[in-house]
Amino acid sequence: MLSKNAFSMLPSLKYTFSGHDSFQCRLLWLKKGYDYLREGRSFTADDAPVILGVGNNMVRAIKHWLRAFGLVDEATDTPTKLADLIFGGRDADAPFDAFLEDNATLWLLHYQLVKTRFASTYWIIFNEFRKRKIEFTREDYGRFIEQKGREEGFSISPKSIIDDFGVFLKMYHRGIAERGVKTKDREDSFSGILTELNLVHSFPRKTEDGKGEIPVFVITPSDRDDVPADWILYCLLDSPGVGLSVSLETLENDPGMPCAVFAMNRAGLRRKIEQLVSQYDFLTYNDQAGVRELQFREKPADKYKVLRDYYVPANV
């Protein structure tokens, strides 16, 4: 059976709400940074801005996002196996999706961004905060982090919290523009890499004095038809606390599990479980005598084979 929290076996991580220099990750930044590292270059090199074609602060941002998406090893700044598979480097016959043209790859990157916890906001929002506040403002999030800091013994400046939340919005919400905030350069208005997922929506709410409006944000659970069922399996194989069986309740409610990470409802999860059971002989679903759980007859040793099965079908 699964432990209460599938991520309980992970080491404690420090909270990080900066490192991006207020730049959201752009669509081609990950490939640009990946190719740069595969050429044997260093982000600290004097000519890095020239080679990458960006300013010094954007060089730092590219490095930050590669780490946040789990595409480079944090200690060595060398590309991970997942990065090689996506972008077609060492040990990969061909890139899975080097230019991120398949929305499925964006969902995979979203999962990576949340589960690595290198950038704390993404884990917190999808696994903790949105369960307490279905509709939320920037200020609601700021108060939540300040309270969390008091409870867990860390401190972060209110400005850093608000700035980081602004980057989160630009990553996921198409067309976010704050009243009274001017962009510092043309590229700052570019959409974030995950806006195509349509995960974050907003609507205006009148201020208390009735003289203005503030944006209210919401992440509404849905069927997530565009999330491949294979990504649910990959999520389970990538979670160290998952054993040979996992309950439907765990998949629905636990941090780091599919319904939390992908903001997926029960109906969508059940359909994807049905797809997986019909596709893989090593999976069964038990729904008898009050027991509802996905079971492995045996667990695949290579989680990346799930990705290969999606990107490179056997009949191709």
Domain limits of the chain? Answer: 28-99, 229-311
- 81: tokens are 């196996």
Q: What are phi and psi of 203, to 5 degrees?
A: -150, 155
Cβ contacts of residue 128 below 8 Å, gap of 6+? 255
CB atoms within 10 A of CB 223: 15
- Give the closest residue to 263 by CA, choosing from 161, 111, 145: 111
Q: Is 302 exposed, middle or buried (0-12, 13-18, 19+ CB in 10 A)?
A: exposed
pLDDT at 212: 87
Helix, strand or coil, per DSSP, at residue 306: helix
| Per-residue confidence in pLDDT tens, the chain, 316 aa | 444 455 444 445 689 999 999 999 999 999 999 999 999 999 999 999 999 999 999 999 999 999 999 999 988 889 999 999 999 865 556 899 999 999 999 999 999 999 999 999 999 999 999 989 999 999 999 999 999 999 999 999 999 999 999 999 999 998 653 333 344 444 444 679 999 999 999 999 988 887 889 999 999 999 999 999 999 999 999 998 899 999 999 999 999 999 999 999 999 999 999 999 999 999 999 988 788 999 999 999 999 999 999 998 764 4
What integer pLDDT is reported at residue 90 of this predicted model?
58
Kindly state the tokens that stand for 36.
Answer: 């740069």
Helix (H, G, I), strand (E, B) or coil at 247: strand
Burial 151-183 (b: 16+ CB within 10 A, else e): eeeeebeeeebebbbbbbbbbbbeebeeeeeee
CA 250, 309, 195, 268 dihedral sign is negative
Contacts for 50 with CB less than 8 Å, ≥ 6 apart: none
The long-range contacts involving 96-100, CB below 8 angstroms and separated by at least 24 positions, are 96/307, 96/311, 96/312, 97/311, 98/31, 99/28, 99/31, 100/27, 100/28, 100/30, 100/31, 100/193
Specify the CATH architecture of the domain 229-311.
Orthogonal Bundle (1.10)
pTM of the model: 0.90
